[in-house]
Amino acid sequence: MKKVAIIGGGISGLSALHFLKTTYGDKCQVTLFEKTDRLGGTIGTDRTDEFVSDWGPNGFLDKVPLTLELIEQLGGSHLLDPANAKAEKRFIYCHNRLNEIVPSPIKFMTSSLLSIKGRLRIAIEPFIKARTDWDEDETIHDFVSRRIGPESAETLVGPMVSGIFGGDAKKLSLKACFPIMVEMEKEYGSLIKAMIGKMKAARKNKAQDGKSSSGSASGPGGRLTSFAGGLISLIERFEDRYNSDIVTDCPVDLISMDDSQYLIKFANQKPSEKFDAVICSAPAFAASQMIAPIDQDIASLLDSIPYASIAVVCLGYDKKQIGREAEGFGFLIPRGQGKRILGSIWTSSIFSDRCPEGMAQFRIMIGGDTDPEAIDLSDDQLLDVVSSDFHPIMNINSRPQYVNIFRYKRGIPQFIVGHPAKMKRLDDLLKDHPGLKFTGNAYEGVGLNDCVVRSQKVVKQLAADLF
């Protein structure tokens, strides 16, 4: 029996624990160490006065079969809570108003979200020459500006990037964040041609098998999905099943080598312990400090992955206080619109059990890589900034009846230009350390699905090393 340690009790570490136990449980003894007194990492849910507020992520897209299989194996499928169909409506705040993002190309090209020049620039996209140097990395902003114009980059894609990554499209790597866009240009030479090609393929598949496509013209689809009682319900399923394999309040200090085994030194009074393998799912900056005694090059590489700070402000109002309709997913705000907040998710419009009857709940994001100082504002200052930005947009003229603020000083890893090369370098360095693996949201994707997929991948790699 091989001894395996997992460091970190967020979704990545818990998923790795599950995959090890269910696939290789007869070959290894696994222990997960979490430094705090709770599991979940940034996944958490407050349930106060009938308000249900997620700390960080509020769901996942149901497009990845592995995640759904994991939930089923944990016995949590009956708790799944798909988003309300009305939540498909999304908006961008621009020109002092909310502009709905319409899926119809004809309606979009006649909307006033972009200027006439900006819309015409999109129309000529099929005639823009594709790049030929596929090895060179490119920022998201540069790619979008090159394909559909600078106005679209600023107005459409910039706020989407800040909403997903809390990042700056002028810094983030297209290859790392949206690899499908690279493949679309590479295969079709044009995004519009790629969308047409994918729509034709979807119609052909539907005609052949009678099933509708789960994707869209621009790539894989998916419906935002959470759990009854909030996303913490998923973590509770892990905890119920694997409680005997988990040690909380047990921070790891250092990882070193002792003969051919990994020696873990704990920061509390727990004696050091040897393991045949280690999966580290701690944030990259924390993993860097742990791993320094083994490989300084790996430590430096992990430490070079930047993080953005972000604050999430949850607000609850009597629906009578809200002067405009709040049915939809929410809105994002491009920079330069006179607003400091990044956008808002209309929580109670998306999921049904998030607030008392007659009330509405909203999540407002502020900070990110374009506004790092926001995280240092006091709670009162954050509430004042958020209210002054949010209230005029939603036509609210009273203070919220419910307030809950969550802060993440280093919350979201930033896949800046050069990130894919870093990941290749990490893989090369790890060849000298069989049995040592890293998982989490700092490597191949920041979403819950990405973390689950990455964890299964490293477990399979670990099995190849050990068994």
Task: Give me the pLDDT at residue 86, please.
Answer: 80
Q: What are phi and psi of 447, to 5 degrees?
A: -85, 165
Rounded Cα–Cα distance for residues 338 and 150 (Å): 19
DSSP secondary structure string, 64-78? -HHHHHHHHHTT-GG
Rounded Cα–Cα distance for residues 422 and 83 (Å): 36
Task: Give me the pLDDT at residue 208, please.
Answer: 63
Q: What is the pLDDT of residues 282-335, one digit of tens each?
A: 999 999 999 999 999 999 999 999 999 999 999 999 999 999 999 999 999 999
Tell me which of 203-207, 282-286, 387-391 is least confident.
203-207
pLDDT at 438 over 50: yes
pLDDT at 215 over 60: no
Q: Do residues 368 and 166 lie in contact, with contact meaning Cβ atoms separated by under 8 Å?
A: yes
Nearest to 101 by CA among 367, 371, 343: 343
Q: What is the pLDDT of residues 60-84, one digit of tens each?
A: 999 999 999 999 999 999 999 999 9
Report the amino acid identity of residue 384.
Answer: D
Residue with tokens 């409506």: 89
Q: What is the pLDDT of residues 138-163, one digit of tens each?
A: 999 999 999 999 999 999 999 999 99
Rounded Cα–Cα distance for residues 347 and 132 (Å): 43
Work out the average pLDDT over 260-269. Answer: 94
pLDDT confidence bin for 351, thresholds 50/70/90: very high
pLDDT confidence bin for 104, thresholds 50/70/90: confident
Rounded Cα–Cα distance for residues 293 and 455 (Å): 24
Assigned token pair, 38: 């709770």
pLDDT at 218 over 70: no
pLDDT at 339 over 90: yes
Q: Do residues 441 and 334 lie in contact, with contact meaning Cβ atoms separated by under 8 Å?
A: no
pLDDT confidence bin for 199, thresholds 50/70/90: confident
DSSP secondary structure string, 223-267? -EEEETT-THHHHHHHHHHHGGGEE-S--EEEEEEETTEEEEEES
Nearest to 422 by CA among 433, 411, 434, 413: 413
pLDDT confidence bin for 198, thresholds 50/70/90: confident
DSSP state of 376: G
Work out the average pLDDT over 9-16. Answer: 98
pLDDT at 221 over 80: no
pLDDT at 236 over 60: yes
- Between 203 and 385, residue with greater pLDDT: 385
Question: CA quadruple 274, 276, 282, 288: dihedral positive or negative?
Answer: positive
Q: What's the whole-number average pLDDT of the chain?
A: 94
Task: Give me the pLDDT at residue 214, please.
Answer: 40
Nearest to 60 by CA among 272, 328, 351, 281: 351
Please count the CA atoms within 13 angstroms of the CA of 44 that sit on its side-chain side.
15
Rounded Cα–Cα distance for residues 347 and 54 (Å): 10
pLDDT confidence bin for 459, thresholds 50/70/90: very high
Q: Do residues 317 and 398 lie in contact, with contact meaning Cβ atoms separated by under 8 Å?
A: yes
Residue 449: which residues within 8 A CB-CB, separation 6 or more?
Answer: 60, 61, 63, 64, 66, 67
Task: Give me the pLDDT at residue 216, please.
Answer: 40
pLDDT at 211 over 50: no
Q: Is 107 helix (H, G, I), strand (E, B) or coil?
A: helix
Domains of the chain: 2-41+232-305+415-466 (3.50.50.60), 114-218 (1.10.3110.10), 307-413 (3.90.660.20)
Task: Give me the pLDDT at residue 3, please.
Answer: 98
Work out the average pLDDT over 179-189. Answer: 94
Rounded Cα–Cα distance for residues 155 and 390 (Å): 19
Work out the average pLDDT over 428-452. Answer: 97
Task: Give me the pLDDT at residue 102, please.
Answer: 85
Q: What is the pLDDT of residues 27-61, one digit of tens each?
A: 999 999 999 999 999 999 999 999 999 999 999 99
Indicate the Cα dihedral angle 60, 62, 30, 410, nearest 10°.
-20
Label each residue of 185-233 as H, E or C. Answer: HHHHCCHHHHHHHHHHHHHHHHHHHCCCCCEECCEECCCEEEECCCCHH
Please count the CA atoms within 13 angstroms of the CA of 163 that sit on its side-chain side.
22
pLDDT confidence bin for 132, thresholds 50/70/90: confident
Residue with tokens 């349930």: 47
